[in-house]
């Protein structure tokens, strides 16, 4: 199949797409999965995939699940893909999620179940037995109907009956990341997916010779639409690994690209930063990135300095500058809105920082690669919109902005989803916007700010107070609620959560009022520890700074709403009425001087405890002596990404592999050290 025939291909539904791929290329490899990020553990051809999908769909039809919602709780792997497409084939609305780990706060999972009205849970046999222990903590799970899809015999496919499905039929609900208090399920139809896949194919320049490789979570829009459904749309191979395998050892991603000669791969900005910082010269040995044609970067603010540092680090390993591919999109547009930059033009736009704060664009020559002390700000082009109609709109009067003005990005396209599940008012407000002067519409209001330079879209920030860290959206009001409930010294409705840029990375800051009765004898360390632990447990986020302020001193509007932007400004210029403060102590990454990587002098509990305390102190910006070996790791704000990364380093130090869940299953330095000593016994 040529690039032209792929572009011209029109499929009415996802069912028609998979059936055509299986009929035309039954023996062609569709997906390869590497459990450990290095060795192939699962493969499926298009023919095998379609047969297994039909078997799952037939079972769902026999059980009467059609037209209902099904929660998908799967570990990373190809079983998720089979189950997702099985739902599509059975006209069951899939609700992708991630299985909860032991001791994890389950509030978000509960609210997703309640909001979606899901009656079914699809999972694997091993995971089902593990999840049964969660029934006590989440009674809703025990009331649902469960189906293990990994043991459904493929012969069941023969009873499948093709449902009445068209482009308007709802395919799945993509729940926006992070929200625990008010989850919103984006309603994505067959037509939305297929339109966006066609746009991705055209905008990214994909063809029959494209090869995907990636580690992105499959339950997230970028992983599902990008790394699973785009290869299916193209009829080509996709090589996948678990996110934890990448976080443990970022070099695995690059070596997969090299080994399989992948042409398209990518992720959020933090992934490129992680590779530039963590992949040592020794780990780069043998890398050949010359096949990489599209290194897409999206889902969070793109840092010019990160892109340049990544290019500089890997240019001697075949990476072409033309491969760097900034893009922009969101779940509400199925995935992609724009992507790529003209090959003969700089991809960085330097503007005056002061003018940008006022919503004006004044370009300058040169400048820094970030929010610089020279009064400039470097912004990265996010490419052209393909099949989308995009306008830059003044959000208050709803008119199109002048060329040198920043405005809200509005999008009109067949890729724009149907709205939010069971939220008609929010759907009307967000998905049904019209220009005031011309009446043009409807548009999706993205809540993101930007401007055009020629045909290229440039993102400048967010109109909404959403916090984006490691490609995930977190709603500040959810974090604020978690904080105010974690300690009696903290005043209700008196906090603000926001992010600041530190060393080219978004980091979380908490500003919180203290109850008047606690001001005299405030135990700052105890309060800060409670905040870090609660945020880590509930949101899997590491806190960069906590500022405790006097009662009734937080900036508010005249109507009593917290002014998060004013709190952020007060934090940066140190003008808040502070009664206690903690800021992580940023230290140079020890990979530059990896003394920690030396073989351990011994394998005693004390040796391992000292290693753990030293590395945690390095990651979390605290002193090792401040960590109590009996306290849970989350007390010090150890989030999931840091825990998985530490597991990889621990494996290198002790010379053996560990499961990514090691730190969750053994939740303190004392407990983990004892476990490891026993594990290491000959």
Mean pLDDT of 524-551: 91
pLDDT of residue 3: 42
Phi, psi angle pair for 590, to nearest 5°: -70, -10
Tell me the percentage of the chain whose pLDDT exceeds 90.
60
In eight-state DSSP terms, residue 117 is T
Residue 243 lies in a domain: yes
pLDDT of residue 118: 94
The angle formed by the CA atoms of residues 185, 189 and 193, to the nearest 5 degrees, is 105
Q: Among 251, 177, 174, 242, which Cα is nearest to 214's?
A: 242
**Of 178-187, 193-202, 225-234, where does mean pLDDT reach its minimum?**
178-187
Mean pLDDT of 84-113: 86
pLDDT of residue 616: 86
Mean pLDDT of 245-271: 96
Using pLDDT thresholds of 50, 70 and 90, give the confidence band for residue 142. confident
Residue 506 lies in a domain: yes
What six digits make up the tokens of 110? Answer: 């509960």
Residue 286 lies in a domain: no
pLDDT in tens, 267-307: 998 899 899 989 999 999 999 999 999 999 988 888 888 89
| Whether pLDDT at 592 is above 50 | no
| Whether pLDDT at 350 is above 80 | yes
The pTM (predicted TM-score) of the whole model is 0.83
Measured CA to CA, the distance from residue 28 to residue 17 in angstroms comes to 15
| Whether pLDDT at 114 is above 80 | yes
Number of domains, the chain: 4
Of 108-112, 115-119, 173-177, which has the strongest mean pLDDT?
A: 115-119
Do 134 and 216 share a domain, yes or no?
yes
Q: Among 218, 229, 221, 230, which Cα is nearest to 77's?
A: 218
Do 452 and 504 share a domain, yes or no?
no
pLDDT of residue 44: 98
Do 399 and 494 share a domain, yes or no?
no
Give the 3-state DSSP-derived string for 260-304, with helices as H, strands as E and coil as C.
HCCCEEEECHHHHHHHHHHCCHHHHCCCCCCCCCEEEECCCCCCH
pLDDT of residue 5: 45
In eight-state DSSP terms, residue 562 is B
Residue 559 lies in a domain: yes
CA distances from 451 to 339, 368, 399, 409 (A): 14, 20, 14, 8
Last residue of a domain, one of 248, 283, 310: 248
Measured CA to CA, the distance from residue 658 to residue 445 in angstroms comes to 45
Ramachandran bin of 475, using left for φ above 0, alpha for ψ from -120 to 50, beta for the remaining angles: beta
Do 519 and 538 share a domain, yes or no?
yes
β-bridge mates for residue 350, sequence order: 378
Q: Contact, 188 vs 417, CB < 8 A?
A: yes
What six digits make up the tokens of 609? Answer: 């405890």
Do 521 and 420 share a domain, yes or no?
no
Do 574 and 595 share a domain, yes or no?
no
- Residue corresponding to tokens 């309060």: 527
pLDDT of residue 7: 41
Using pLDDT thresholds of 50, 70 and 90, give the confidence band for residue 157. very high
Summary mean pLDDT of the chain: 88
Q: What is the CATH number of the domain that holds 384?
A: 2.30.38.10
| Whether pLDDT at 398 is above 70 | yes
User: For residue 607, what are the domain limits?
Assistant: 590-679
Last residue of a domain, one of 248, 266, 296: 248
Q: What is the CATH number of the domain that holds 568?
A: 3.30.300.30
Do 541 and 610 share a domain, yes or no?
no
Q: Contact, 96 vs 229, CB < 8 A?
A: no
Residue 28 CB partners (closer than 8 Å, separation 6+): 45, 46, 235, 237
Residue 271 lies in a domain: no
Residue 86 lies in a domain: yes
Do 453 and 488 share a domain, yes or no?
no
The angle formed by the CA atoms of residues 69, 75 and 81, to the nearest 5 degrees, is 60
pLDDT in tens, 60-69: 999 999 999 9
Measured CA to CA, the distance from residue 191 to residue 637 in angstroms comes to 42
Q: What is the CATH number of the domain that holds 123?
A: 3.40.50.12780
Last residue of a domain, one of 556, 583, 610: 583
Phi, psi angle pair for 495, to nearest 5°: -130, 160
Q: Contact, 649 vs 615, CB < 8 A?
A: yes
Do 182 and 75 share a domain, yes or no?
yes
- Between 203 and 466, name the one with better pLDDT: 203
Do 579 and 594 share a domain, yes or no?
no
**Of 187-201, 248-262, 512-526, 645-659, where does mean pLDDT reach its minimum?**
645-659
Mean pLDDT of 327-354: 84
| Whether pLDDT at 366 is above 80 | no
Using pLDDT thresholds of 50, 70 and 90, give the confidence band for residue 2. very low
- Between 170 and 299, name the one with better pLDDT: 170
Do 634 and 569 share a domain, yes or no?
no
| Whether pLDDT at 627 is above 50 | yes
> How far is Cα of residue 58 from the mean position of the Cα atoms in its chain?
32
pLDDT of residue 52: 98
Measured CA to CA, the distance from residue 289 to residue 607 in angstroms comes to 39
Residue 627 lies in a domain: yes
Measured CA to CA, the distance from residue 355 to residue 342 in angstroms comes to 26
Strands 120-123 and 145-148: parallel
pLDDT of residue 179: 35
pLDDT of residue 345: 60
Residue 295 lies in a domain: no
Mean pLDDT of 213-230: 95
Q: What is the CATH number of the domain that holds 635?
A: 1.10.1200.10
Do 24 and 90 share a domain, yes or no?
yes
| Whether pLDDT at 591 is above 70 | no
């Amino acid at each position: 199949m040529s690039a032209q025939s792929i572009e011209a291909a029109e499929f009415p539904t996802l069912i028609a797409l998979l059936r055509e791929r299986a009929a035309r290329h039954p023996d062609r490899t569709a997906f390869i999965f590497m459990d450990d990020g290095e060795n192939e553990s699962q493969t499926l051809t298009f023919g095998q995939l379609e047969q297994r999908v039909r078997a799952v769909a037939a079972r769902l039809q026999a059980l009467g699940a059609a037209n209902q919602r099904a929660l998908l709780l799967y570990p990373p792997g190809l079983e998720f893909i089979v189950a997702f497409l099985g739902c599509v084939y059975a006209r069951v609305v899939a609700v992708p999620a991630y299985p909860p780990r032991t001791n994890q706060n389950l509030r978000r999972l509960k609210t997703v179940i309640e909001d979606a009205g899901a009656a079914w849970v699809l999972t694997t046999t091993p995971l089902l037995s593990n999840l049964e222990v969660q029934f006590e903590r989440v009674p809703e799970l025990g009331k649902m109907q469960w189906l293990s899809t990994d043991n459904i015999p493929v012969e069941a496919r023969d009873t499948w009956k093709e449902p009445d499905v068209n482009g308007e039929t709802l395919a799945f609900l993509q729940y926006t990341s992070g929200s625990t208090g008010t989850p919103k399920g984006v309603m994505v139809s067959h037509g939305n997916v297929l339109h966006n896949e066609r746009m991705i194919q055209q905008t990214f320049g994909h063809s029959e010779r494209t090869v995907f490789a990636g580690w992105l979570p499959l339950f997230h829009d970028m992983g599902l639409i990008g790394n699973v459904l785009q290869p299916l749309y193209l009829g080509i191979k996709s090589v996948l690994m678990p996110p934890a395998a990448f976080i443990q050892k970022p070099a695995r991603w690059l070596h997969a690209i090299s080994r399989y000669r992948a042409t398209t791969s990518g992720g959020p900005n933090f992934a490129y930063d992680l590779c530039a910082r963590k992949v040592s010269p020794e780990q780069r040995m043998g890398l050949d990135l010359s096949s990489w044609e599209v290194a897409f970067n999206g889902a969070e603010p793109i840092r010019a300095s990160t892109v340049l540092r990544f290019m500089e680090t890997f240019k001697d390993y075949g990476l072409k500058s033309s491969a760097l591919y900034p893009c922009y999109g969101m779940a509400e547009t199925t995935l992609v809105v724009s992507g790529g930059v003209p090959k003969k033009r700089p991809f960085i736009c330097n503007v005056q920082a002061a003018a940008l704060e006022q919503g004006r664009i004044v370009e300058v020559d040169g400048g820094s690669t970030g929010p610089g002390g020279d009064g400039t700000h470097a912004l990265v082009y996010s490419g052209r919109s393909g099949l989308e109609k995009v306008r830059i709109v003044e959000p208050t009067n709803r008119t199109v902005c002048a060329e040198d003005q920043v405005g809200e990005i509005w999008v009109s396209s067949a890729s724009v989803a149907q709205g939010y599940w069971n939220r008609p008012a929010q759907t009307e407000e967000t998905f049904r916007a019209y220009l005031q002067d011309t009446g043009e519409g409807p548009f999706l209001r993205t809540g993101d700010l930007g401007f055009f330079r020629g045909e290229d879209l440039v993102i400048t920030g967010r109109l909404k107070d959403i916090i984006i860290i490691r490609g995930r959206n977190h709603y500040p009001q959810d974090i604020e609620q978690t904080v105010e409930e974690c300690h009696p010294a903290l005043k209700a409705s008196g906090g603000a959560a926001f992010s600041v840029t530190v060393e080219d990375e978004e980091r979380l800051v908490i500003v919180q009022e203290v109850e008047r009765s606690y001001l005299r004898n405030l135990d700052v360390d105890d309060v800060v520890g409670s905040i870090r632990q609660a945020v880590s447990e509930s949101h899997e986020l590491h806190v960069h700074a906590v500022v405790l302020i006097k009662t009734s001193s937080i900036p508010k509007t005249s109507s009593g709403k917290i002014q998060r932007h004013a709190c952020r400004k007060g934090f940066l210029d140190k003008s808040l009425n502070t009664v206690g403060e903690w800021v992580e102590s940023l230290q140079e990454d020890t990979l530059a001087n990896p003394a920690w990587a030396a073989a351990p002098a011994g394998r005693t509990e004390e040796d391992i405890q000292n290693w753990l305390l030293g590395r945690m102190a390095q990651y979390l910006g605290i002193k090792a002596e401040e960590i109590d070996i009996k306290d849970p790791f989350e007390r010090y704000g150890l989030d999931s990404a840091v825990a998985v990364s530490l597991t990889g380093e621990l494996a290198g130090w002790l010379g053996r592999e560990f499961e990514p869940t090691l730190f969750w299953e053994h939740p303190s330095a004392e407990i983990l050290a004892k476990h490891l000593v026993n594990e290491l016994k000959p």
